[in-house]
Amino acid sequence: MAKAVKKQALGRGLSALLNTSVEDIQSVKDKNADKVVGSIVEIQLDAIEVNPYQPRTYFNEDALRELASSIKELGVIQPITVRKLEGNKFQVVSGERRFRASKLIGLQTIPAYIRLANDQEMLEMALVENIQRKDLDPIEIALSYQRLIEEIKLTQEELSARVGKKRTTVTNYLRLLKLDPIIQTGIRDGFLSMGHGRALINIEDPAKQLEIYEKIIQHKLSVRQTEQLVKNLREGIEGPSKPNKAKNVQKIPAYIQKGMIDINETLGKKIEVKFVGNDKGKIVIPFDSEEDFNRIKKLLQ
């Protein structure tokens, strides 16, 4: 017999929290606002909508099912955060994966912290919350920084203070957005690192950028080799078409490049393939913790 979904015990329903309706609560000055804001409350899932300001654009389906299975066994251990909309409606500020996973297994309610925020505050909270996550790729982080600057009207100094990063770090991420869109996609898909991207930024000609990008992919050039190639190009040094260390590196076949994208999506990780020729090589799969390792192991079984 399948185990029953464990009852959430983190919060009370709104009806138990208040003697009156929450429909009229729109600001911290409204009656009963102090009882709602900051409380952990069980909220109906169908009363919650997703966050249109969410920087994350991709949710791995296998990882969601894995999380859903965990929630089915243990419940939602960490409440999501929502903001109060008009009436009895709410919007996710953080915890969209937990929200989606809970819907997958048919939960009716989810524990949530309630906040009151206007659209600008909502955007800032969502972006800053997501920037702190470790699994965003460099382009997603750069786009989030750009939105904070453009839509919240922050300077780079103010932005660095908000996200707890040095201004030079913020600048380096923002510069990635000057790269050709094809190269940005390569970074998002894990074919290039941020270091490769920073080297390529020093080339103003988009055609030359793409030329070196192709060499990086074909010959699996390191960041150091890429920097040297860019330096030679800027100084007008022709030199060999690729650094000496890359002479014997085999070009990765198209079927492997396509397969890497499929495996990345399945595992929710950016794998590395070391190809030695004659259809031989090895796959390197990174993991961040014991929990992450066990998740990957289960997917591979």
- Give the active site residues: 96
Backbone angles phi, psi at 262, to 5 degrees: -65, -45
If you compute the radius of gyration of the chain from its CA atoms, what whole number of angstroms results? 24
* Encoded tokens for 113: 């912290």
CA distance 167 to 165: 6
Using CA atoms, how far apart are residues 10 and 41, in angstroms rounded to an integer? 8
Amino acid at 153: K
The helix, strand and coil proportions of the chain, stated in percent and rounded to the nearest 5, come to 50, 15, 40
Q: How far apart are CA 301 and CA 297, in angstroms?
A: 6
Beta strand ranges found along 63-132 (DSSP E): 80-84, 90-94, 109-115
d(CA 43, CA 86) in angstroms, rounded, equals 15
CB atoms within 10 A of CB 298: 11
For residue 22, give the DSSP letter.
S
269 in Cβ contact with 286 (< 8 Å): yes
Straight-line distance from the first to the last Cα atom of the chain, in angstroms, rounded to the nearest whole number = 23
CB 147 within 8 A of CB 179: no
Helices and strands (H, E) in the chain, number of each type: 14, 8
